[in-house]
């Protein structure tokens, strides 16, 4: 299904405003100096991808070939892979960090994708997420469910009624409370697979 997320000019025009008003600071918190090997899933047009330090070994991934072309222009030199979060083409324990910005609302099978993330993270590695989730209030949740079908069609995959933070927890990740930020429907947190230490 194709929609706004797969039309770089439209997506970037809308997102430039969002980044300036709200998201830019949250995005920058996803990347850190001294990150070792990083997998960024669902890079889209590369708005977060371009923020990684030149010393970080980053690989970007997205299922959509068109957005990957824009990401390549925005972040030249970073290897990009056309693949889905549900079937990551990497060996286990391959990455220190997995970054996801506004992606798991669009992943068809988020539970499978999160299992894959846990598989490719090395012991002690962490998943850094910036996601939007369904509103907490009863009315907000109801509205998110109502607008979901046309919104998903318009955007090309985004589901506004997902409880991504809850899914992350239910798939065996522990959210590091020190990293957790919440504002309206936005969530920013780091999570580690259960059994690993929260850093
Ligand atoms: C809202 S965009 C976010 C793009 C970028 N991360 C950003 O912050 O601007 C969602 C992205 O997730 C990608 N996506 C959709 N399904 C996916 C999947 N199963 N695995 C990985 N990425 C997926 C889409 O192609 C799209 O580029």
What pLDDT, in 10s, does the model give residues 22-39?
999 999 999 999 899 999
The verdict on the CB of residue 102 being under 6 Å from ligand 1 is yes
Would you call 113 exposed, middle or buried from its count of C-beta atoms within 10 A (0-12, 13-18, 19+)? buried
CA distance readout (Å), 50 to 2, 92, 119, 129: 24, 25, 25, 16
Residues 88-117, mean pLDDT to the nearest whole number: 98
Pocket test for ligand 1, best of 24, 106, 155, 186 (most atoms within 8 A of CB): 106
Look at residue 195 in the predicted model and tell me its pLDDT: 76
Strand stretches in the chain, DSSP E: 37-41, 57-62, 80-82, 95-101, 121-132, 173-175, 181-183, 186-193
This prediction's pTM: 0.96
The verdict on the CB of residue 85 being under 6 Å from ligand 1 is yes
Give the Cα separation of 63 and 83 in Å (integer): 5
Give the Cα separation of 71 and 133 in Å (integer): 25
Look at residue 2 in the predicted model and tell me its pLDDT: 85
For the four alpha carbons of 79, 80, 83 and 84, in that order, the dihedral sign comes to positive
Residue 197's pLDDT band, with cuts at 50, 70 and 90, is low
Residues 171-177, mean pLDDT to the nearest whole number: 97
Residue nearest to atom 11 of ligand 1 (CA): 42
Residues 137-153, mean pLDDT to the nearest whole number: 96
Domains for the chain: give ranges and CATH numbers: 4-193 (3.40.50.150)
Residue nearest to atom 23 of ligand 1 (CA): 42
Of residues 189, 197, 183, 186, the one with CA closest to residue 169: 189
Look at residue 116 in the predicted model and tell me its pLDDT: 98
Give the Cα separation of 185 and 168 in Å (integer): 16
Residue 153's pLDDT band, with cuts at 50, 70 and 90, is very high
Look at residue 199 in the predicted model and tell me its pLDDT: 47
Residue 103's pLDDT band, with cuts at 50, 70 and 90, is very high
| Residue 18 token pair | 């969002």
Residues 49-54, mean pLDDT to the nearest whole number: 96
């Amino acid at each position: 299904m194709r929609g706004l997320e797969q039309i770089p000019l439209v997506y970037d025009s809308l997102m430039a405003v969002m980044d300036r008003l709200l998201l830019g600071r949250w995005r920058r918190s996803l990347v850190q100096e001294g990150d070792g090997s990083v997998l960024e899933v669902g890079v889209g047009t590369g708005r977060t991808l371009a923020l990684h330090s030149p010393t970080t070994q980053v690989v970007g991934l997205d299922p959509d070939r068109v957005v990957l072309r824009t990401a390549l222009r925005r972040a030249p030199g970073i290897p990009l892979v056309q693949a889905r979060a549900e079937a990551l083409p990497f060996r286990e324990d391959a990455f220190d960090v997995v970054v996801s910005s506004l992606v798991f609302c669009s992943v068809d099978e988020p539970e499978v994708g999160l299992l894959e993330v846990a598989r490719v993270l090395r012991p002690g590695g962490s998943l850094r997420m910036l996601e939007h989730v369904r509103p907490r209030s009863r009315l907000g949740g109801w509205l998110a469910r109502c607008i979901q079908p046309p919104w998903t069609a318009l955007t090309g995959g985004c589901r506004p009624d997902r409880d991504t933070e809850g899914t992350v927890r239910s798939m065996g990740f522990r959210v590091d409370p020190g990293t957790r930020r919440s504002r309206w429907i936005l969530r920013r947190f780091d999570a580690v697979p259960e059994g690993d230490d929260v850093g």
